[in-house]
Structure 1
Amino acid sequence: MIVHGLDQAVTPYFLRHTYCTSLFEIGIDLKTAQYLMGHASIKTTANIYTHFTERSLDKAGKTIREKLAGGHPVDKKEKHSR
């Protein structure tokens, strides 16, 4: 175990989990992450991917706000036809 100023112990498991979570956060698909992690079962990879971080929730919220900011396509069409 490595001693450092972080709240959590840095172990090989911690590093692998962090790496897999980072793959999710940058948009790597589940099957590719499975290959990169060397998991025999995609279920193992999926279980790690389901541990959402605050950063991924913030990113999802931002994406949702950006997509919805312009309104519904029908609304835009109606505004142009008036």
Structure 2
Amino acid sequence: KTYLGTAIEVNLTREFEITDGSDLDWNIDGVEVDCKFSKDLGGWEIPMEMYLCGDHGPRSGKLNHPALLVWVNDDASEWAA
């Protein structure tokens, strides 16, 4: 899973010439964006650093950040982003 997620991120970065982010994967027009991959539709793991949450204090992020969610089903030759 980690290898596929990294491969997808690297290839999207190259294909669309996306700038690396300072805290998350990308910086798109001044906005930090994270790329998340899952083999299971809806199975993305979103870390607390990506969003504001009063219940989690210091583990909460500084801002709410968008993410590009990518899903792949190799058996069915399907994908979505």
Q: TM-score, normalised by structure 1?
A: 0.27
More relative contact order, 1 or 2 (CA 8 Å, 6+ apart) = 2
Task: Name the one with the larger helix percent.
Answer: 1
Which is higher, the Rg of structure 1 or of structure 2? Answer: 1
Q: Which has the higher strand share?
A: 2
